[in-house]
Amino acid sequence: MFIHMRKYLVYFSKNNSLSVFKSHVSFPLPTLQFFSTCAEKQRTTSTAFSDFLLHKHHFSPEAAKQIASALARLENLEKYDSILSFFKDSGFSSAQLEKILKYRPKLLSANADKVKPKIKIFQDSGISAKDTADIITNDPDILYRSLKNRVIPSLSLLKDLLGSSVEVAKLLRISGWFLKYDVGKTMAPNVEFLKSCGVAMEQISWLMYNFPRALLSKPERLREFVDRIDAMGISRSSKMFIHAIRVLGSMTIETWEQKLKAFQNVGFSEDDIVAAFRKAPQVFAVSEAKLKKLKRVLLASGKYDVLCIINHPTSLICSIENRYEPRLQMLGILESRNLIKDWPRFPALYKTSDEAFFKKYVGPYLNEVGHLSTVKRAFSIKRYAKLRLSSKKLRSQPTVSS
């Protein structure tokens, strides 16, 4: 490639007064002046474009500079002004346009006549201008998708399923996935299949809002999930059925097998795993690192063991940093000061709300431990102050004699 270029330059020098000496290229003064003028013109155009975004359309300096530098070829400002004004008239804010153009700067060069119908179809479907702007800001690639093959069929099917444009807008603000896939070949048959399994539309809607990937997967893949769930013994009429679909749909078979090994390494038997999956399939979304850490934290207390987790799998959902560690430290302090003899049973440790836990285990000993940072860390500072005040009021109330 370099040799070819060198030959080209030598040839060019013989015919255009450019000379080549080894790898050095020298340009006659007029040519250099021409290049310099072009570069200066390009810089000026970029600066003018940045100023245009900054002052007329109120972009931030950083965004204006980033968008200007991303466009290799700048056109006339009137064209850019036209499409930006159209978006603003359609309900988009400057902040939203910044976000869109930082992701898709070439949208400024788009043909407005091709963009307008894609905005209009949302509004014609009953979706407000504000919601339309939010939806497209979250997923600007919508503007590059086929109206006929993607956007219109998706909007129509979603409205039929959810019942109103308001619900469609709510769903699309959460996830633009439903406008990426051929819903006629994925979601429609998947919804019908789940209905045939006895799953209520309310639960299917929950899945749409919380895990759209399951409904947008290939129908044969969803059927595989259901077969595996059946094998694990979860009834299709159970409320856990839809959670099981969510969990299995979030990982490959290889990842699932690794997850099972992680539970076994903590101490779960195969029967324990099946029982936990039937009771709370969502706990299998917990990371292996959290499994190991919770086991370590509970064993370190000397009061709880792995059986606590096995018998109460939903305990895995609670935060180790915000619930387990502060409460265990606090109980350890109370015991070390001979303020308590018995620790709470494990369900009380992880299920009890902050307010109830505070009143039962801290309230009676505020004078002794209320000043400790460990106690305050068990609850948010603002929450701690409120609970402490409430507890003091309860203690100060006079006893009514009978």
Return the ∠ at Cα 330 (arms to 324 and 333), rounded to 5°: 140
The encoded tokens of residue 291 equal: 């499994």
Q: How far apart, in whole angstroms, are the C-alpha atoms of residue 265 and residue 295? A: 11
**Going by DSSP bridges, is the β-strand pair 19-21/24-26 parallel, antiparallel, or unpaired?**
antiparallel
Same domain assignment for residues 323 and 310: no
92: closest CA among 125, 57, 117, 144?
A: 57
Domains in the chain, number: 5
Residue 76: pLDDT over 80: no
pLDDT band of 401, cuts 50, 70, 90: very low
Q: How do residues 23-73 score in pLDDT, each as one tens digit?
A: 444 444 444 343 444 444 444 367 888 888 988 999 999 998 899 888 767
Q: Read off φ and ψ for residue 20, nearest 5 degrees.
A: -120, 125
Return the ∠ at Cα 124 (arms to 121 and 129), rounded to 5°: 85
Query: Is 402 a member of any domain?
Result: no
Same domain assignment for residues 155 and 55: no
Sign of CA dihedral 389, 392, 397, 402: positive
Same domain assignment for residues 116 and 134: yes
Q: How far apart, in whole angstroms, are the C-alpha atoms of residue 296 and residue 307? A: 13
Coil, strand or helix at 21: strand
Same domain assignment for residues 190 and 166: no
Q: Which residue has the higher pLDDT, 15 or 319?
A: 319
Tell me the H-state helices in 217-312: 219-232, 240-249, 253-266, 270-279, 288-301, 306-311
State the distance between the two ends of the chain, measured CA to CA, in whole angstroms. 103
Same domain assignment for residues 227 and 282: no
The encoded tokens of residue 46 equal: 């970029």
Residue 126: pLDDT over 50: yes
- Do 240 and 280 touch, CB atoms closer than 8 A? yes
Which one of 53, 73, 108 terminates a domain?
A: 108
Same domain assignment for residues 383 and 296: no
The encoded tokens of residue 115 equal: 């963009």
Q: What is the rounded average pLDDT of the residues 237-255?
A: 93
Same domain assignment for residues 337 and 304: no
Q: Read off φ and ψ for residue 175, nearest 5 degrees.
A: -145, 125
Predicted TM-score (pTM) above 0.85: no
Q: How far apart, in whole angstroms, are the C-alpha atoms of residue 39 and residue 126? A: 49
Q: How do residues 82-97 score in pLDDT, each as one tens digit?
A: 999 999 999 999 999 9
Same domain assignment for residues 311 and 323: no
Q: What is the rounded average pLDDT of the residues 318-340?
A: 90
What integer pLDDT is reported at residue 335 of this predicted model?
92
Residue type, 76: N
The encoded tokens of residue 105 equal: 């700067």
Q: Read off φ and ψ for residue 317, nearest 5 degrees.
A: -75, -30
Host domain of residue 194: 185-250
Burial profile 323-356: b = 16 or more Cβ within 10 angstroms, e = fewer: bbbbbbbbbbbbeeeeeeeebbebeebbbbebee
What integer pLDDT is reported at residue 331 of this predicted model?
92
For residue 149, the 8-state DSSP code is I
| Residue 109 zone, left/alpha/beta (φ > 0; ψ -120 to 50; rest) | alpha
17 Cβ neighbours under 8 A, 6+ residues apart: 28
Sign of CA dihedral 315, 321, 327, 333: positive
Query: Is 180 a member of any domain?
Result: no
What integer pLDDT is reported at residue 41 of this predicted model?
43
Same domain assignment for residues 2 and 93: yes
Same domain assignment for residues 28 and 100: yes
Residue 6: pLDDT over 60: no
Same domain assignment for residues 368 and 308: no
Same domain assignment for residues 28 and 104: yes
Q: How far apart, in whole angstroms, are the C-alpha atoms of residue 143 and residue 223? A: 33
Write the DSSP string, 235-248.
-TTSTHHHHHHHHH
Provide the percentage of residues in the chain whose pLDDT is more than 90: 57
Which one of 250, 278, 305 terminates a domain?
A: 250
- Do 161 and 123 touch, CB atoms closer than 8 A? no
Q: How many CB atoms lie within 10 A of CB 26?
A: 11
Query: Is 269 a member of any domain?
Result: yes
Query: Is 290 a member of any domain?
Result: yes
Q: How far apart, in whole angstroms, are the C-alpha atoms of residue 45 and residue 39? A: 10
Residue 382: pLDDT over 90: no
Write the DSSP string, 366-379.
HHHHTT-HHHHHTS
Determine which of 38-42, 98-102, 126-130 has the lowest per-residue pLDDT on average.
Answer: 38-42
Provide the percentage of residues in the chain whose pLDDT is more than 70: 80
- Which of the given ranges, 93-97, 174-178, 366-370, has the highest pLDDT on average? 93-97
Determine which of 13-27, 114-128, 348-362, 388-402 has the lowest per-residue pLDDT on average.
Answer: 13-27
Which one of 226, 250, 274 terminates a domain?
A: 250
Query: Is 256 a member of any domain?
Result: no
Residue with tokens 């044969």: 220
Cα Rg, the chain, nearest whole Å: 32
Query: Is 337 a member of any domain?
Result: yes
Q: What is the rounded average pLDDT of the residues 325-341?
A: 90
Query: Is 128 a member of any domain?
Result: yes
Q: How do residues 177-227 score in pLDDT, each as one tens digit?
A: 899 989 999 999 999 999 999 999 999 999 999 999 999 999 999 999 999
Rounded to whole angstroms, the maximal C-alpha distance in the chain is 118
Residue 276: pLDDT over 90: yes
Query: Is 215 a member of any domain?
Result: yes
Q: What is the rounded average pLDDT of the residues 118-145?
A: 95
